[in-house]
Structure 1
C-alpha cells in the first residue's frame, strides 16, 4: 500500500515511516521539508496522488490558542478535501487521550475540532488517541519553570514512548478503518510532578520540582482526565526502561 505520512519527518512521523517501510509498504513522508504545506495546500494534491492511506501526525508550529486552533482546522480541512479527491480509503490521525475532557486547554480544543472534522467527513477513518510522550518531559519541564523551579500538579498521566506511539499508529494505518477512536497508553500511572521529577533526576538536571495543585498543564488543571479508558491498548515500555536507553 502507498501510505502518505503527513508530518513524516518529525518525531513520531519518521518512526511511522520507518515501521511501515519495514512491513513492505510504500511509506512516503510529507512535510514542509519535503515541499508539502497543509496550511497553504502547497504540494498536498501531488503528495496524495495514488495514496491508499493518509496518516496525519503533524503538529502546530505554535501552541498559542488561536494559532493551534487555526492550524488544525485549516490543515485538516485541506487534507480531507485532497484525500477525498484522491480516493484515499483510510484516513488516520493522531490525537490526545482526554482531549474532550479538558476544554479549558486551547490545544486540546483544537484536537477535538480536528477529530470532529474527520468524523464528519465521508472518508473511512481511524483516530488514535495517545497519552503524553516520554520524549516531551523536558519540554513540559521548561514550560513550567520559573526561577529555577518546575511547578507541576499531581494530575495523573500514563505516558508512553514515542516508539510505542509510532507502532500503534503504523499498525492502525496498515489495518482496516475503525471509524472511531482507539486509545493507547503507557503501562504506568504517575503524577505529572513525579513523572517529570524522575526524568529530570535521571538527567542530573538541578531544577527542583514543586507540587502545585494550581499549576496548569497547557491551560488545563487535570486530575484524572488524561488517563485512558478501560479499553485502551497498553504499551510495554516502562519509564525506567526508556530512561536506561537514553
Structure 2
C-alpha cells in the first residue's frame, strides 16, 4: 500500500491526464483533476497553489498543441517553474512529469527541446521526482502520418517506433505516482517495435487509406535528424500490454482513427514544420 493518500493531476482533463485520474480512482487514493477547466492555469499560476494544497503527489500530464518555440517555452518552462514553486510551498512529496523518449538528444525538434527544459526544471526543483519518458502513442499515428504527407504518399524518417496505447500510459503513470520517487528517468514503451513506415501502413490498412508509405532517409522528426533508435528506449523500464491489433477495436482507436484524419496534414504541422 502506498504511503501517499492524495494525488493532483495537472492536465487532468487531457488525453493522458484523464486516464491517470481514472486509474487512480481505483487505487484507494484521493485524486484531483486540475486544469484550466477547473480554474488552474499553470502558465500564470492562477489557482495552482490552492489546487495542490494538501497533495502528496503531483502528476504533470499537461500539454500544449503547438510547435511555436515561444509558446512552448512559456508553457513548459514557465509552467514548470510555477509548479515547482507551488509544490515546495505545499510540501509535495513526489512530482511526476510525463515526458518523451528522445527528448535528451533531439534538440532540433522545438517541442522536444521544450520538454527537455521542463525535465530540467523538475529535476532541480528540490521536490523528489520521477520523470516518465514515453514512446509515441498509438493515438498519435494520424498526426504522425499527416506530418509526412506529400500528395499521394507519406514519407516518414527511416527509424524505429515502439508505440504505446494511451490507456497503458495512464495506468503506468498512476502506479508510478504512488511509488517512491526515483529521482531519475523511467522509460516506458509498447510491446511491439518496428519501422515508422510499418506502423503507418498498419494504420492505413485499418482506415482503408490507399496512399503509398515509403521511408525517406533524409526526413527529419519534425526538425530533428534521427538515428534508427532515436525514438525507442534501449531497455524500457516498463512495457504496455496493449498490442496494436486489439487496440484497433477500442473506443480510443475509434476516436483517433475516425473520419479522414490520415488524409491531410494538420494545419499546424503544414504551417510550421518542414520535414
TM-score range for the pair, normalised by the shorter chain length: over 0.9
Equivalent of residue 57 in structure 2, options 53, 59, 63: 53
What does 1:81-96 correspond to in 2, within 5 Å?
81-96=85-100
- Would you say the 8 A contact 2:148–2:154 is kept in 1? yes
- Give the one of 210, 233, 256 matched to 1:228: 233
1:238 paired with 2:243, answer: yes
Q: Cα deviations across residues 60-92 of structure 1 (Å, max 9, x unaligned)?
A: 232223321231100100001011101111101
> Helix, strand or coil for the counterpart of 2:231?
coil
Q: Pick the aligned partner of 2:169 from 165, 170, 175.
A: 165
What TM-score results when the alignment is normalised by the length of structure 2?
A: 0.86
Partner of 2:137: 133
1:230 positional shift? 2.0
CA contact (8 A) 1:156 1:222 kept: no
Distance 1:156 1:231 in 2: 14
CA distance in 2, matches of 1:146, 1:139: 14
Asked if structure 2 preserves the Cα contact closer than 8 Å seen for 1:130 and 1:165, the reply is yes
Q: Distance in 1 between matches of 2:218 and 2:71?
A: 25
Aligned pairs for 1:149-164 (under 5 A) are: 149-164=153-168
Between the aligned partners of 1:63 and 1:99, the Cα distance in structure 2 is 15
Structure 2: how far apart are the matches of 1:125 and 1:57?
14
Which of 176, 195, 199 is the aligned partner of 2:199?
A: 195
Preserved CA contact (<8 Å) 1:5 1:13 = yes
Q: How far has the Cα of 1:231 moved from its partner?
A: 4.9
Give distance in 2, aligned partners of 1:151 and 1:192: 10
Aligned residue-pair number: 246
1:35 matches 2:39: yes
Name structure 2 gaps, 5 residues minimum: 254-275
Please state how far the C-alpha of 1:128 moved relative to its aligned partner: 0.6
SS for the counterpart of 2:214 is strand
Partner of 2:216: 212
Alpha-carbon distance between aligned partners in 2 of 1:147 and 1:33, rounded to the nearest angstrom? 38
CA distance in 1, matches of 2:64, 2:143: 15
Superimposed CA distance per residue, residues 173-198 of structure 1 (whole angstroms, 9 cap, x where no aligned partner):
11111111111111111111111221
Q: CA deviation at 1:151?
A: 1.8
The CA RMSD over aligned residues, in Å, is 1.3
1:90-129 mapped onto 2 (5 Å cutoff): 90-129=94-133
Whether contact under 8 Å (2:189, 2:236) holds in the other structure is no
Residue correspondence of structure 1 range 63-74 to structure 2 within 5 A: 63-74=67-78
CA-to-aligned-CA distance 1:104-157 (integer Å, 9 cap, x gap)? 111111111111111111101111111000000011112222323222122111
What is the match of residue 180 of structure 2?
176
TM-score by length of 1: 0.95
User: Which range moves more in the overlay, 232-241 or 27-36?
Assistant: 232-241
